[in-house]
Structures are given as structure tokens and as C-alpha cells.
Amino acid sequence: MKKRKFGLALSLVLAAGTILGACGKGEEKEEGTANGGDKESKFSVAMVTDVGGVDDKSFNQSAWEGIKEFGENNGMEKGKGGFDYLQSKSDADYATNLNKLSREGFNLVFGVGFLMEEDINTIAGQQKDTQFGIIDGVVDQPNVVSIMFKEQEASFLAGVAAAKATKTNQIGFIGGMEIPVIERFESGFLAGVQAVNPDIKVNVKYTGAFDKAELGKTTAAQMYSSGIDVIFHAAGGTGNGLFTEAKDLKKKDPSREIWAIGVDSDQSAEGVVEVDGKKHNVILTSAMKGVKTAVIDISEKSKAGNFPGGETLTYGLAEDGVSLAPLNEEVANKADIEKAVNEWTEKIKNGDITVPGTKEELKSFKAE
């Protein structure tokens, strides 16, 4: 009896050891994958769009182009296990989409936009083995990198260009929602206009949406009809309505000098209009954000096992994270505008001036 009991006990101990050993190895493998270990063939990356959609010709599209380029350069395929995106139809989709991509095993998941801050904070706390990136927001979690831009610096240069291009001394700004990132665009733009000519009037309107092109069109129509001849938008897909209105007006009166300024990426392709067999472009320039560059940068770091979790990375003019797109060849005083833009760019990069990022900072801003 004693021998049988001893043999049974020894068998149980060995079995327990085998189970524990197997569990330990499984956990070790999972952790290695989550932290950038054996990822040469397994690394995957995805993003969740905001309501503007992946083809908004602006913010979301720029992020998706970055993910696609990274994926294709690394021999990855679109879909599960490679690179992908989920589109959000409303803000109620954010948490669901973030959680879905995490559960599908994507190593790195980007949330595009400030409005996802709260949801990324929640899901990152639940899905600790997934790495997350929040663009235009800050989330204090060890598995989240926060990606910020000095939008005010690019929009300051857009303001300089607008102030130099206007013939009526009336300029417009169309914003999406009144949130910090758009406030940075507005404040920088107004400061740039002020730096050139403080007597220029700037009409600021918010549409309350990033996905309503029809609102962008009606807002632009009201502005252009009031005598405004240059309008800058920071409104995502809503801004596409600005371009439509500017092109329609140019078709009706080819001699009329009106301009639109794009945002996030070079949107000049959206301004082409054909009049009497000749092509024109109503886009003066665009205030660009290196969303694509940042997404690729973070993806490469993550794949190499160097994910900057818990950090906030800020990209400005000095870091080549924001810039102004090339000026339209049709603008009469192109050389004068370029000269002014280059001078102010150097002042910002050298720290000679600090561009205001809030309306409060704008109050005390003085151009030198």
C-alpha cells in the first residue's frame, strides 16, 4: 500500500510540473510577441479611424497611407495578421473597434484622433499585451504611445501665406469641432495672419463635425459671398465641401481670385477645376502634419522591439513633423509669399518666436 501511494503521489507531482512548465512557456511566448520579440513574421499593425473615414483625403487617410506603406515595405498583406483598419461610423464604435483589433491579435493598434483618448485609455488597461498609439491625444498607460504635433506652427505659415495672398483683407477659418487640436490650428493661423497684417479680418466658423462636406460647402459659400477670398479649413472631411464651393465659384467666374487652404496632407489634388479647356487650381497651399511619417516611425520602433510605451512624442517644424505644402503656381505674388514663409519658418525653428497653441496664448502673442 505504501509503495502504491508513493507512486501515485510521484505521478501527480510530475504531472503538475509538466502542466506548470507548459503554462510558463506559453506565457513567455505571448509576452515576447507583445513586447516586440519574435516579430519578423508575426508583427501586425492596424488602425481605427474616426468618423471622417479612411478616405477623408486628410487626417485618417494620411495615417492609413503610413500603415499601408509600412506593411508593403515589410512584405505584409492587408488583413488579419498583416495590416488593416476598422472604420468608425460614430464615436460609439471607437471602443468596440479598438477591442476587436486587439482581440484579433494585432501587435500595434493606432487610434486616430483626440476623441479616442478615453476609449484607448480603457481598452489599453484591459488589453495590456497590445501596444496602442493615440494620435493627437495623451494617454498615460505603459502600453500606449501618445503622438502629438505642433499644428500651430504649420498653420502659422498658412496664415502668413493667406495674409500675403488676400486682395480683400478678409480671410476665413472653418473648424470642425472645438477641441484642443483644432484650437491649435486656429490660434496658429490667426497669429500668422496677424504677423503679416494685424488689420486683416478673420472670420472663424465651426461646423461641429468632421464628416459633413455639405456643412463645409454652405459655410464656405457664406464666407466667399461676404467678400472673403481666402479660407483655411481644419475640419477633416467637412473641409471637402470648401473645395467644392471654391471650384464651383471658379467655374462660374474664372477671373475671380479665390483660394482655399488644405490641412493635414497636401490637398492640392482636390482643387483642380477645368475652365474653358484650361485647368486651374483653387488650393493655395496646405498646412501639413506628418501623420504618415509618425505612424511609420512608431510601427518600425514597435516591430524592432523598441516601442516607446508611456511616452509622448511631439513633432513640430524643427523635427520635420509639420510643414507647409508647395504654393500654387497661379498665385501672382508667389515669390513674395515664399520669401515670407521661409523667413518665419527659420524664426520658429530657431526659437525666435513661439507660436501660440491656444486662444489664451494668442491674446499675448506679438510677432517680432
Is there a single domain that holds both residue 208 and residue 133?
Answer: no
- 323-338 residues labelled b (16+ CB within 10 A) or e (exposed): bbbebbeebeebeebb
* Inside any domain, residue 235: yes
* Inside any domain, residue 74: yes
Alpha carbons 288 and 266: distance in angstroms, whole number:
6
| CATH code, domain with 145 | 3.40.50.2300
pLDDT (0 to 100) of residue 367? 84
pLDDT (0 to 100) of residue 32? 37
Is there a single domain that holds both residue 225 and residue 296?
Answer: no
Place of cell 515669390: 335
The grid cell for 312 is 509622448
> Within 13 A of 246's CA, how many CA atoms are on the CB side?
30
Alpha carbons 274 and 267: distance in angstroms, whole number:
17
Is there a single domain that holds both residue 280 and residue 159?
Answer: yes
* Inside any domain, residue 323: no
pLDDT (0 to 100) of residue 90? 92
* Inside any domain, residue 36: no
Is there a single domain that holds both residue 277 and residue 161?
Answer: yes
* Inside any domain, residue 24: no
Q: Is the distance from CB of 43 to CB of 63 less than 8 angstroms?
A: no
Q: What are phi and psi of 319, to 5 degrees?
A: -100, 10
Q: What are phi and psi of 158, to 5 degrees?
A: -65, -35
* Inside any domain, residue 229: yes
Which DSSP category does 136 fall into? T
Alpha carbons 366 and 368: distance in angstroms, whole number:
6
Is there a single domain that holds both residue 107 and residue 228?
Answer: no
* Inside any domain, residue 165: yes
With residues binned 3-state (H G I as helix, E B as strand, rest as coil), the percentages for the chain, rounded to 5, are 45, 20, 35
pLDDT (0 to 100) of residue 14? 35
Q: What's the number of domains the chain is made of?
A: 2
Alpha carbons 175 and 205: distance in angstroms, whole number:
6
pLDDT (0 to 100) of residue 41? 52
Is there a single domain that holds both residue 122 and residue 248?
Answer: no
Is there a single domain that holds both residue 175 and residue 281?
Answer: yes
Is there a single domain that holds both residue 117 and residue 256?
Answer: no
How many angstroms from the chain centroid is the CA of residue 24? 40
Alpha carbons 48 and 88: distance in angstroms, whole number:
7
Is there a single domain that holds both residue 224 and residue 91?
Answer: no
Is there a single domain that holds both residue 158 and residue 220?
Answer: yes
Alpha carbons 312 and 225: distance in angstroms, whole number:
43
* Inside any domain, residue 320: no
190 lies in which domain range?
151-288+333-363
Is there a single domain that holds both residue 307 and residue 284?
Answer: no
Is there a single domain that holds both residue 159 and residue 225?
Answer: yes
pLDDT tens, N- to C-terminus, the chain (368 residues): 443 443 434 343 334 443 334 444 333 333 333 344 343 458 999 999 998 889 887 789 999 999 999 999 999 999 999 999 999 999 999 999 999 999 999 999 999 998 999 999 999 999 999 999 999 999 999 999 999 999 999 999 999 999 999 999 999 999 999 999 999 999 999 999 999 999 999 999 999 999 899 999 999 999 999 999 999 999 999 999 999 999 999 999 999 999 999 999 899 999 999 988 899 999 999 999 999 999 999 999 999 999 999 999 999 999 889 999 999 999 999 999 999 999 999 999 999 999 999 999 999 998 87
Place of cell 482655399: 260
pLDDT (0 to 100) of residue 12? 36
Alpha carbons 143 and 213: distance in angstroms, whole number:
36
Alpha carbons 81 and 190: distance in angstroms, whole number:
45
